[in-house]
């Protein structure tokens, strides 16, 4: 399992969303939804950005249509030419690229995980049309909670540290304080064992709590491990 830092993408965080007037759900968990795809493993390629974007789109499309597609991360890695393949990328750019559709995993399977190579873009498959909206960006813990009431979102996090490498379970309350270097999907929040955000990683089911992690909520507006600094969703 190798994680590579993504290059600087000149991301400008969107404005915080307006707060809901005392109507927020106490708990949201998209990981239990029929629209949640299985935990993936990016392998030896720095393609977390593509896995986060694909996962967010799969769920958004399913929420809109009732159909959960298995879409091709490899096509996004190899063909999203404003990103850098296995050397990193930005999910908002990938989400924008996917507006024109994406092929299925069966027709364009993931291969970069074994050798860490981006691969050449192929065009032999037929893209699936997706029911997703215009890409939106926001920031801040309260804004992330607002988004999660409707759908999951891609989020940047600080993960190149022992906290993430050794995580087995529980709620993480702090990271060392470095810059963000990894992309995951925020899939929920709750209060059952303390206030938290629930995130979905792309390091396989052997990592964390079956591929998921809990980050303490309410420490600061940017979130533990910077989980609420840069939020994108379709």
Residue 192: its pLDDT value, please? 83
pTM: predicted TM-score of the whole model, two decimal places: 0.91
Residue 131: its pLDDT value, please? 97
Contact yes or no for 157/225 (Cβ under 8 A): yes
CA 45 from chain centre, in angstroms, equals 16
Q: Report how far residue 113's alpha carbon sits from residue 105's, in angstroms, rounded to the nearest whole number.
A: 14
Q: Which domains does the chain have, with CATH numbers?
A: 28-233 (3.90.70.10)
Q: Please report, in angstroms and rounded to a whole number, the separation of the first and last CA atoms in the chain.
A: 28
Contact yes or no for 214/171 (Cβ under 8 A): yes
Active site positions, annotated: 48, 182, 201
Nearest to 49 by CA among 86, 79, 13: 86
The burial class, CB within 10 Å (0-12 / 13-18 / 19+), for 29 is: middle
Residue 24: its pLDDT value, please? 80
SS3 233: strand
Beta strands 171-172 and 212-216 are parallel
Helices (H), 3-109: 48-65, 73-79, 91-97
Per-residue pLDDT tens digits of the chain, which is 234 residues long: 334 444 444 444 555 655 544 568 999 999 999 999 999 999 999 999 999 999 999 999 999 999 999 999 999 999 998 999 999 999 999 999 999 999 999 999 999 999 999 999 998 999 999 999 999 999 999 999 999 999 999 999 999 999 999 999 999 999 998 899 999 999 999 998 899 999 999 999 999 999 999 999 999 999 999 999 999 999
Residue 177: its pLDDT value, please? 83
Residue 12: its pLDDT value, please? 44
């Amino acid at each position: 399992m190798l994680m590579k830092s993504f290059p600087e993408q000149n991301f400008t965080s969107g404005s915080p969303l307006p707060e809901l007037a005392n109507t927020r759900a106490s708990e949201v968990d998209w990981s239990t939804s029929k629209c949640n795809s299985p935990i993936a493993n990016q392998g030896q390629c720095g393609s977390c950005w593509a896995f986060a974007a694909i996962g967010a789109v799969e769920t958004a499309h399913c929420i809109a249509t009732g159909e959960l597609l298995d879409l091709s991360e490899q096509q996004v890695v190899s063909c999203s030419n404003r990103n850098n393949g296995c050397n990193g990328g930005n999910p908002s750019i990938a989400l924008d690229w996917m507006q024109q559709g994406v092929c299925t995993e069966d027709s364009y399977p993931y291969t970069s995980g074994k050798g860490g190579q981006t691969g050449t873009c192929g065009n032999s498959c037929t893209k699936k049309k997706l029911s997703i909206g215009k890409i939106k960006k926001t920031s801040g813990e309260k804004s992330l909670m607002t988004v999660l009431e409707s759908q999951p979102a891609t989020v940047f996090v600080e993960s190149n540290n022992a906290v993430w490498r050794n995580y087995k379970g529980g709620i993480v309350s702090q990271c060392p304080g470095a810059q963000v270097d990894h992309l995951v999907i925020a899939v929920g929040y709750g209060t059952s064992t303390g206030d938290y955000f629930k995130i979905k990683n792309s390091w396989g089911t052997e990592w964390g709590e079956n591929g998921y992690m809990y980050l303490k909520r309410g420490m600061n507006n940017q979130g533990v491990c910077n989980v609420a600094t840069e939020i994108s969703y379709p």
